[in-house]
Structure 1
């Protein structure tokens, strides 16, 4: 199958998987803290990846390890904790819409850090996307007084982290196998995740006997296997067959999936918030639109 067809298959599959990850995080947080969610998600995902590809580690050269480690931290380690913290205060559907900042930040990071030239249309798209973000945050804070919308800072940090990671992947790890990158990522980040889990109090008796622990762990296993381990490999494949900006455009479709799950879970979403989300996606469209 040629790269044109493959990139669209990867894109739609990732949209479905990652779009469902927000509601799964919400369910996990009923029984676990944000720190426990983040660390266990890394540990479980690393375990799955090591089963299928641990032997890939020996193929990583010494000069590539720094980029593998960096993409592991920026593309997985920090974002899983950022999103976990954010969703302790913000609805899963809102978190998914704000995640659409990834393509916009990919352009910004590419321009500011990697000196990738941006067109006037891309710059306009970034500003339109930021306008939609401000509208979404202001309206959400006004109608959801019980939610602390300062926690959107965690989502913004996560999107910046993802954006930097995808640029590093495309520039320095373009020729490395997707599974090799993913396994190498988790080889770097799984040890600090174990240390964080131990220090989080997860192994205390009151946590282990809690009736909410079993369903939380079940949701976490699904999230780790599909939303992190499998998605990590698919995303690396997508970056390989497409451009960094196209790869980050998975956020076009993710909010649709996430909002569907949020509505089923009785989350409220105003027309103004939907409009703000559409403005963000308009900005993303302008960033991606090609001439002619």
Structure 2
């Protein structure tokens, strides 16, 4: 799959693909449990990737495999389940907006682990990002007062995982090809995903005969192929041609796509939540801009 080396094209395509992933997760959860969805997503993605690029794994060192395992869990395994559990209670559009915190966490991780200096504007951006997140949480509590808000922190945890993963990919696996990086990640996390899938009720004959399960599997297969397998290869190439914070800025336009699908699906956002979303994006912009010039 040859894609021109244009970071803006990668940004657009990944925003379109990943922005559509949230509604696919929502649809998949209609017939599958979060464990089944997360595990099936990983297993199906691995099968697709094995077909596309098995030969790319030749010549990987033990050091590279160590970091492929670490980044596999950080960038794919944990977030797959975090989003699946969270979206039982959180609208797909809200999940996408909360995931916009990734660039802010990218800045914080750079400061903490890689001795990057924080500028005043970045500090303000981080502060606004968390204030906006609080607005989304409080606004969601107003709309659905009977639903738990703690699942918001699963989305925030996934964003933190993505932020750490971006830095590790950039600093530890820069010599590995995007296909080898992606396939190595998924091979590393395939065994635990298979174990979780087998201990669930997924393979029971009664479960597989349900029409809703089959329909949900169709959504998960679409998510696995485009939103996970293909997008991961693109993302890992994106990391190689752009700065870490520019890469994380895919979350600027991603919520627009997610909001579009959420609106079509009848999701509602309160004025408080919309204000919180705007504050998050302003915070991301402030946290992002100085580092990008570097």
In the superposition, the TM-score normalised over structure 1's length comes to: 0.96
2:135 aligned residue:
135
Structure 1 residue 205: deviation in Å?
2.6
CA–CA distance in 2 between the matches of 1:61 and 1:5? 27
Alpha-carbon distance in structure 1 between the residues aligned to 2:289 and 2:151: 31
Which residue of structure 1 aligns with residue 94 of structure 2? 94
1:147 Cα shift?
2.6
Q: Residue 115 of structure 2 corresponds to which residue in structure 1?
A: 115
Q: How many residues in Structure 1 have an aligned counterpart in Structure 2?
A: 290
* CA distance in 2 between partners of 1:178 and 1:123 (Å): 32
Q: Which residue of 2 aligns with 1:250?
A: 250
2:225 aligns with 225
Contact preservation (8 Å) 2:104, 2:288: no
Structure 1 gaps of 5+ residues are none
Contact 2:69 / 2:185 at 8 angstroms: preserved in 1? yes
Matched, 1:85 2:85: yes
> Deviation at 1:142?
1.9
> How big is the shift at 1:5?
6.4
In 1, Cα distance between equivalents of 2:239 and 2:119: 21
Q: Does the 8 A contact of 2:35 with 2:196 survive in 1? A: yes
Corresponding residue of 1:263? 263
Distance apart, 1:4 and its partner CA: 10
Matches within 5 A, 1:50-61: 50-61=50-61
Who is 2:65 aligned against? 65
**Partner SS, residue 210 of structure 2:** coil
| Contact 1:79–1:161 (Cα < 8 Å) also in 2 | yes
Instruction: Map 1:1-292 to 2 at 5 A.
Output: 6-290=6-290
After alignment, is 199-208 or 280-289 more displaced?
A: 199-208
Structure 2 CA distance for aligned equivalents of residues 94 and 119 of structure 1:
29
Change (3 A) 1:236 1:5: closer
1:59, CA displacement in angstroms?
A: 2.4
Whether the 8 Å contact between 2:14 and 2:250 is mirrored in structure 1 is yes
- Select between 191-200 and 3-12 the one with higher mean Cα deviation: 3-12
Match of 2:175, SS state, is coil
Q: Identify which range, 106-115 or 235-244, moves more after superposition.
A: 106-115
CA distance in 2, matches of 1:33, 1:143: 24
TM superposition shift of 1:122: 1.1
| In 2: Cα distance, 1:56 partner to 1:47 partner | 15
**SS at 2:151's partner residue?**
helix
Q: Summarize deviations over 1:176-205 as a string: whole Å, max 9, x none.
A: 211110011011001110011001121123
Cα displacement string for residues 66-108 of structure 1 (whole angstroms, at most 9, x for unaligned residues): 1111111100000000000000111111101100011111111
Kindly indicate whether the alpha-carbon contact (under 8 Å) linking 1:122 and 1:288 is maintained by their aligned counterparts in 2.
yes
1: CA distance, partners of 2:224 / 2:200: 19
Deviations 1:223-256 (A, max 9, x none): 0000000110111111100011110100001110
Distance, in Å, in 1 between the alignment partners of 2:54 and 2:38 is 22
Q: How many angstroms apart in 1 are the aligned matches of 2:121 and 2:5? A: 27
- 2:150 is paired with a residue whose SS is helix
* Aligned residues of 1:90 and 1:148 also touching (Cα < 8 A): no
Q: Are 1:29 and 1:216, in contact at CA under 8 Å, matched by a contact in 2?
A: yes
